[in-house]
């Protein structure tokens, strides 16, 4: 059992900030930290929250260090339990600690899990990742399906796992099958042997053993079991089948797991059927898992019916274990998930925005701003701007005034407009940096609102401002 004292972690952090090599590259000796149970009062997470956005020193010439398997385990702690009452009754704050003597600071939840392709973001290379908000940007998604073809599991194992392979030894990887961009679950192809995914190289079927091969060679910090995720319009019979399969595959994965569930997120499915969802949640809770992956969302259910489904599941799941959901990407969907008690979100909202040439601009200080200020908008859309538009040709302002991301600190809207018009890759790099930075800021705002116990107000204000813009966009006589 690897647990860590919050007080000791902050002590290490304090020293890290002071010393010349401010962030240790290889894990310090394990004798450095005594092992104590974490405190019940979440003093550390509050302190981190009030600190300004911190970024790390650039990390350009890092030497590789092989890290032993023990340090990978993560521990989740609920730092501010849900209030239990009210519409946002199930929202809670938590912290993810990397165990085993490392000095990595905890990641606060609810948190965004940054999407990746083969372990790296689509456009942000590791030396640019350094400048994103810290430690929020340490949390990355891993899609095992990306590694079906290459590199082989043996090569990945030899290299030492995904952290070594992509040069992000200090980051945390959370794995779930499928990503929302190009490895989509294909329920029609899934059968009793394995789950099917549509990938750029065609349809692929993966069984629990192959899946666990990839998991055990990549060694993410947390991983979801293989699931049969079906869209909302399947028959009841197909839905029931998906639950049976998912449970069986969970058991298969666990039996192949060397860590006996210590890093496993049990997959809970059940489609649009509340009773099925409850049944699946109950079953999965009985297994020896460390957390839960709520699968099958974002596959066609309406946003209205989703709340009921989410809550049906989280009502049953044990409070102290972490919950991760995929494909709830839009801000409204994130807020919905937070209200239902979800801790981790994997969103491809940023990716789609970036590809379309959009940059997020909505104000993050939603509680601080007067309501009228929020509704005032300088462009057509309060949330985002499309930098393709000719109005930006000569706009020498940054995307968002006072944004501390690399893009806003160094480049103008005019330059981005030009890059988009000439189809240069740098446009996507700069946009992904800004959008990721901004969206991580959104999650910080959510956590701040939760700490101040103003989450309901936060959510209301945010939704109100979105609705106003929609109404303005629709002309009526």
Partner 1 sequence: MALQFEVVGRFNRARASKLTLPHYVVQTPMFMPVGTQGTIKGLTNRQLEDIGCQIILGNTYHLALRPGAELIDELGGLHKFMNWKRGLLTDSGGFQMVSLLHLADITEEGVTFQSPVDGKPMLLTPEESIQIQNKIGADIIMALDDVVRTTITGPRIEEAMYRTLRWMDRCIAAHKRPDAQNLFGIVQGGLDPVLRDICVRGLVERNLPGYAIGGLAGGEDKDSFWRVVAQCTAALPEDKPRYVMGVGYPLDIVVCSALGADMYDCVYPTRTARFGTALVPEGVLKLKHNAMASDERPIDSTCSCMVCKNYTRAYIHSLVTRDAMGSQLLSYHNLSYMMRLSKDLHMSIVEGRFPEYVRGFLRTQFPKGDVPQWVCNAMEVAGIDISSCCAPVPV
Strand, coil or helix: what is 108? strand
Shortest separation between residue 263's beta carbon and partner 1, angstroms = 23
Site map 122..141 versus partner 1, x via CB under 8 A: xx-xxxx-------------
| Cα 252 to Cα 243: distance, rounded to the nearest angstrom | 14
* Residue in 14, 17, 25, 394 binding partner 1, rule: CB under 8 A: 394
Shortest separation between residue 379's beta carbon and partner 1, angstroms = 20
Residue whose CB is less far from partner 1, 116 or 314: 116
Q: Is 288 left (phi over 0), alpha (psi -120 to 50) or beta?
A: beta
**Cα dihedral: 215, 217, 221, 222 (round 10):** 10
* Residue in 31, 60, 378, 477 binding partner 1, rule: CB under 8 A: 60
Per the CB < 8 A criterion, the answer to whether 198 and 181 are in contact is no
Site map 93..122 versus partner 1, x via CB under 8 A: ------------------------xx-xxx
| Cα 443 to Cα 350: distance, rounded to the nearest angstrom | 13
57 scored as a contact of partner 1 (CB under 8 A): no
In terms of Cα–Cα distance, which of 392, 330, 394 is closest to 362?
330
What does residue 385 show for φ and ψ, rounded to 5 degrees?
Answer: -120, 150
| Cα 211 to Cα 249: distance, rounded to the nearest angstrom | 10
Per the CB < 8 A criterion, the answer to whether 32 and 101 are in contact is yes
Shortest separation between residue 388's beta carbon and partner 1, angstroms = 13
In terms of Cα–Cα distance, which of 277, 279, 166, 285 is closest to 218?
166
66 scored as a contact of partner 1 (CB under 8 A): no
Residue whose CB is less far from partner 1, 12 or 427: 427
| Cα 223 to Cα 322: distance, rounded to the nearest angstrom | 12
Tell whether 143 is in a known binding site.
no
| Cα 286 to Cα 305: distance, rounded to the nearest angstrom | 26
| Cα 353 to Cα 431: distance, rounded to the nearest angstrom | 8
396 scored as a contact of partner 1 (CB under 8 A): yes
Shortest separation between residue 129's beta carbon and partner 1, angstroms = 11
Tell whether 253 is in a known binding site.
no
Per the CB < 8 A criterion, the answer to whether 197 and 146 are in contact is no
Tell whether 437 is in a known binding site.
no
Q: Are strands 291-294 and 264-268 parallel, antiparallel or unpaired?
A: parallel
Quickly tell me which residue has 């007067």 as its tokens: 370
Residue whose CB is less far from partner 1, 200 or 475: 200
Which residues between 147 and 166 bind partner 1 (CB under 8 A)? 147, 149-152, 154-155, 158-159, 165-166
290 DSSP assignment: S
Which residues between 415 and 474 bind partner 1 (CB under 8 A)? 415, 417-419, 421-422, 424-426, 428-430
275 scored as a contact of partner 1 (CB under 8 A): no
Stretch that binds partner 1, among 54-62, 207-215, 329-337, 380-388 (CB under 8 A): 54-62
Shortest separation between residue 30's beta carbon and partner 1, angstroms = 25
319 scored as a contact of partner 1 (CB under 8 A): no
- Going by the annotation, the residues of the binding site for Zn(2+) are 403, 405, 408, 434
User: Where do contacts with partner 1 occur on this chain (CB under 8 A)?
Assistant: 58, 60-64, 117-118, 120-123, 125-128, 147, 149-152, 154-155, 158-159, 165-167, 200, 393-394, 396, 406, 410-412, 414-415, 417-419, 421-422, 424-426, 428-430
């Amino acid at each position: 059992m690897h647990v860590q004292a919050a007080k000791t972690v902050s002590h290490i952090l304090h020293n890290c900030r002071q010393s010349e090599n401010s962030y240790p590259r290889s894990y310090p000796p394990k004798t450095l930290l005594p092992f104590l149970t974490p405190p019940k009062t979440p003093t550390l997470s509050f302190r981190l929250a009030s600190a300004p956005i911190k970024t790390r020193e650039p990390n350009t010439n890092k030497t590789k260090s092989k890290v032993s398997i023990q340090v990978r385990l993560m521990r989740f702690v609920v730092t501010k339990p849900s209030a239990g009452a009210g519409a946002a009754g199930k929202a809670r704050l938590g912290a993810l600690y990397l165990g085993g003597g490392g000095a990595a600071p905890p990641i606060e939840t609810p948190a965004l899990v940054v999407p990746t392709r083969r372990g790296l973001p689509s456009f942000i290379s590791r030396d640019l990742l350094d400048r994103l908000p810290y430690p929020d940007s340490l949390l990355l998604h891993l899609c095992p399906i990306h590694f079906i073809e290459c590199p082989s599991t043996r090569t990945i194992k030899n290299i030492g796992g995904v952290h070594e392979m992509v040069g992000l030894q200090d980051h945390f990887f959370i794995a779930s099958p499928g990503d929302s961009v190009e490895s989509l679950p294909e329920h029609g192809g899934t059968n009793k042997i394995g789950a099917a995914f549509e990938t750029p190289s065609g349809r692929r079927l993966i069984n629990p053993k192959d899946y666990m091969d990839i998991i055990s060679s990549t060694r993410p910090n947390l991983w979801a079991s293989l699931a049969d995720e079906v869209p909302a319009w399947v028959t009841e019979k197909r839905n029931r089948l998906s639950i049976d399969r998912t449970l069986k595959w969970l058991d298969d994965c666990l039996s192949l797991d060397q860590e006996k569930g210590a890093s496993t997120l049990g997959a809970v499915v059940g489609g649009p059927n509340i009773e099925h969802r409850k049944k699946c949640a109950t079953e999965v809770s009985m297994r020896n898992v460390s957390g839960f992956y709520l699968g099958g969302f974002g596959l066609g259910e309406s946003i209205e019916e989703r709340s009921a489904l989410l809550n049906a599941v989280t009502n049953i799941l044990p409070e102290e274990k972490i919950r991760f959901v995929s494909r709830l990407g839009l801000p409204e969907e994130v807020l919905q998930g937070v209200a239902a008690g979800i801790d981790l979100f994997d969103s491809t909202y940023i990716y789609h925005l970036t590809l379309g040439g959009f940059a997020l601009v909505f104000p993050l200080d939603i509680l601080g701003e007067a309501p009228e200020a929020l509704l005032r908008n300088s462009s057509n859309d309060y949330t985002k701007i499309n930098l393709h538009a000719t109005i930006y040709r000569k706009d020498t302002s940054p995307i968002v005034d006072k944004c501390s991301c690399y893009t806003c600190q160094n480049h103008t809207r005019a330059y981005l407009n030009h890059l988009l018009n000439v189809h240069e890759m740098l446009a996507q790099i700069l946009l992904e940096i800004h959008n990721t930075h901004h969206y991580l800021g959104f999650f910080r705002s959510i956590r701040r609102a939760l700490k101040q116990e103003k989450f309901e107000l936060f959510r209301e204000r945010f939704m109100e401002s979105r609705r106003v813009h929609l109404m303005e966009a629709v002309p009526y006589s």
